[in-house]
Structure 1
């Protein structure tokens, strides 16, 4: 998995590193757990923006009781029924199925 620093993400988004750190604090973006917010998966940014449905999906996962580590693992775990990973499905604009699965896991 390719990762980016907050400064690199800021450059891609056309904003400041401080704004990226705020997105991380607000759980609208997620860093690799244990990286001290220093490594953000490149897959979370597409066409100069944070993946459209990522913030909402992160909210569903956290509200469902997922820790950062569990949410991160779930987002990048291969799922043959999708196919691929939930993050890849988000990148392919298949967010409805991913969100539905996250909601079901939270029950």
Structure 2
């Protein structure tokens, strides 16, 4: 995984990104609500590649909702000192769960993911 000055290359880690307008459309909310969700750590956003503008990983939205368990997990990560970019990188890195934390959340296997995130915060 290549590193950028501010951490891992998210364009390599995260396969699909959506802009705030598309995120709003998929969730059935306004763009200003998406902005609030990002600020309140219900969602996370980052600039995936230079010049792209801030976007949300597409895997954070499932069946018209934010993936179950994601807001709580993002709060744990932020409380542990992670910013959005670091949180996204952690969620898309293989941790032998099996697989990536985001996959475990999407498959309703979030307990182990949250336990690992909580242990990192201490």
Q: Where do 4+ consecutive residues of structure 1 move more than 4 Å? A: 33-37
Q: How many residues align?
A: 106
Structure 1 unaligned spans of 5+: none
Superposition RMSD on alpha carbons, in Å? Answer: 1.7
Structure 1 residue matching 2:95: 3-state secondary structure: coil
* Structure 1 equivalent of residue 82 of structure 2: 66
Larger deviation: 94-103 or 31-40? Answer: 31-40
**1:33 shift after superposition:** 4.8
Check conservation: 1:3, 1:42, Cα contact below 8 A.
yes
Structure 2 unaligned spans of 5+: 1-14
**1:38 shift after superposition:** 2.5
Q: Is 1:85 aligned to residue 106 of structure 2?
A: no
Structure (1/2) with the larger helix percentage: 1
TM-score, structure 2 length as denominator? 0.80
**1:34 shift after superposition:** 6.5
Check conservation: 1:24, 1:37, Cα contact below 8 A.
no
Check conservation: 1:27, 1:58, Cα contact below 8 A.
yes
